[in-house]
Structure 1
Amino acid sequence: MKDISLVVLSAGDSNRFGKYPKKQWIRTGDDPLWLYVAKRLSKFYDFDKIVIVVCQDELKYSSNFTEKFSFVVGGNTRKDSVLNAIKTLKTKFVMVTDVARCCITKKVIDKIIENKQKADCITPVLDVTDTVTLDRNIINRDDVKLIQTPQLSKLSLLQKALMTKNSFTDDSSAIKAVEGSVYYTKGSSKSIKLTTKTDKKKLKCLKKPSKKTFIGFGYDIHQFEINKPMYLGGVKFDEDFGFKAHSDGDVLIHSLIDAILGSIGAGDIGEFFPDNDKKYKNISSVKLLEYIRDFAYGVGYEIINIDITIVAQKPKITPKKDIIKENLSNILNLKKRYINIKATTNEKMDSIGQNKAVCVYSVVSARFRK
């Protein structure tokens, strides 16, 4: 009978590593790091269930990558994230690991599992070889250990420990706080924690990101509305009409957002910003684009180039083209030469040609950020 579940913590904000991309979303081949870690550990042991803890904004997107694992939303702290995960589990034991420790070996996992009955929490550690000082006093380095993950705990006791008001940086600390027992096994120098970008060079198990290119297409159309400001590409046009929409109606940015989302396989603008949500009423579309920029770059992509076609009888686009390009360049941290804007009319046909609407087509190419 399977009695161990696995939890992979991948909901951190990646402050020390950087947010473009967040470390859980760096690619090894085609896989984001969290998926690589989960796959790697699943080859070492047949877990009853594997749960990936992700942040709320990335929950739906993460679930596109696999149906083999379950997902839960993380909390404000590590403790909250672990609790959210183990509430979904029914096994006697739970193994918890951080996505940052991505090159864990089978030997480490085997040693943890074979000793699971020896204590309430089984924890891999490393000896310290350097001289150690505490408060300017030299202490016996044999008494100092470097604690690693993953750690295997009795689920019921870990849940009890984490439901206290105290904060913990790992599971063994939580178990000890409720007078549980901890047994130390030998860790590995290969289990390096990915904390900053320089650490990646030490992680020999990771491949370089795939060199694939991804293409996204976006389209949007909006009717005119009298006495509403007009914005295209975040640039204000001197017209006495704008676009009928829940937001400010910037049809160019809406089209561009859909193209970005298409290139990374993340659905469409309506899934992120529903038009029945009051908080987006009359919102600047620039703010929506900034959010999507952070999302796309955060989950491991960079934009290569953008090609936009605006179809409008009015207003006149050409006088504002360079200003729009400059604005998009600043928002997306993309050089102007990689942004192309074309404008045409609809030869006075249909609603566009009759000065009732504007439509925009956008194409975005992207790749994994190196």
Structure 2
Amino acid sequence: MTRNLRIGMGWDVHPFALGRPLIVGGVTIPHERGLLGHSDADVLCHALCDALLGAAALGDIGTHFPDSQPQYKDVSSLVLLKFVCRLIDQAGFGIVNVDMTVLAQKPKIAPYVTQMRRNLADVLGVEENAVSIKATTTEGLGFVGRVEGIAACAIALLYQTQGAAS
């Protein structure tokens, strides 16, 4: 049986802001600043949403969850990700695996990766070994290196489920 595979890529950036919790991959990380955004600004979940939507050719996160809509104010990005999973399922696709990288000078992300993988695997409905998360710095370069914000990128591989439209 041949499966129709689709790859999608997502990228997101959020600046740091005082008075907000820092949430990455559904994990609240102790830090003096959180990320600025309409939702909880979970940069990793946002990049993953875009990768999944892109692979299924369903637009982008801003199309589905515009910051002009009050119902998305401070919402958990895990809720947004769950909605995206329903969309790709309805479009006739399943998730093979996802691979993500968080770019952050500070705080250190590595101690939280295991819990992030668990959180995302649970929402995606896949085994934890189908979720890869890496963390890196930018060696002091750019906005990430100046500790002005965090960026994340994600790649998702989808397969066409039986009976899905081509």
1:236 aligns with 2:28: yes
- Give the partner amino acid of 2:11: Y
Q: TM-score, normalised by structure 1?
A: 0.43
CA distance in structure 1 between the partners assigned to 2:85 and 2:26 by the alignment: 14
Residue 350 of structure 1 deviates from its aligned partner by 1.2
RMSD after superposition:
1.1
Match of residue 114 from structure 2: 322
Match of residue 39 from structure 2: 247
Residue 368 of structure 1 deviates from its aligned partner by 1.1
Residue 231 of structure 1 deviates from its aligned partner by 0.6
- Give the partner amino acid of 2:45: I
Specify every segment of 5 or more residues in structure 2 that has no aligned partner in the other structure, as ranges.
none
Structure 1 outlier segments of 4+, above 6 Å:
none
Match of residue 295 from structure 1: 87
Residue 298 of structure 1 deviates from its aligned partner by 2.0
Output one character per residue of 1:124-143: Cα deviation in whole Å (capped at 9) or x when no partner: xxxxxxxxxxxxxxxxxxxx
Match of residue 263 from structure 1: 55
Residue 297 of structure 1 deviates from its aligned partner by 1.2
Q: TM-score, normalised by structure 2?
A: 0.94
Residue 283 of structure 1 deviates from its aligned partner by 1.0
Count how many residue pairs are aligned between Structure 1 and Structure 2.
162
2:138 paired residue among 336, 340, 346: 346
SS for the counterpart of 1:310 is strand
CA distance in structure 2 between the partners assigned to 1:234 and 1:296 by the alignment: 20
CA distance in structure 1 between the partners assigned to 2:32 and 2:94 by the alignment: 37
SS for the counterpart of 1:359 is strand
Match of residue 6 from structure 2: 214
- Give the partner amino acid of 2:147: N
- Give the partner amino acid of 2:17: E
CA distance in structure 2 between the partners assigned to 1:268 and 1:344 by the alignment: 25
The percent identity for this pair of structures is: 36
CA distance in structure 2 between the partners assigned to 1:280 and 1:322 by the alignment: 27
- Give the partner amino acid of 2:76: S
Match of residue 331 from structure 1: 123
1:284 paired residue among 65, 76, 86: 76
- Give the partner amino acid of 2:104: A
1:366 paired residue among 145, 158, 165: 158
CA distance in structure 1 between the partners assigned to 2:67 and 2:51 by the alignment: 18
Q: How does 1:158-237 map to 2 (within 5 A)?
A: 211-237=3-29
Residue 314 of structure 1 deviates from its aligned partner by 1.0
CA distance in structure 2 between the partners assigned to 1:276 and 1:243 by the alignment: 18
| Structure showing greater relative contact order (alpha-carbon pairs closer than 8 Å, 6 or more residues apart) | 2
Specify every segment of 5 or more residues in structure 1 that has no aligned partner in the other structure, as ranges.
1-207
CA distance in structure 1 between the partners assigned to 2:8 and 2:58 by the alignment: 10
CA distance in structure 2 between the partners assigned to 1:231 and 1:224 by the alignment: 11
CA distance in structure 1 between the partners assigned to 2:60 and 2:49 by the alignment: 8
CA distance in structure 1 between the partners assigned to 2:90 and 2:99 by the alignment: 22
Q: Which has more radius of gyration?
A: 1
CA distance in structure 2 between the partners assigned to 1:222 and 1:273 by the alignment: 16
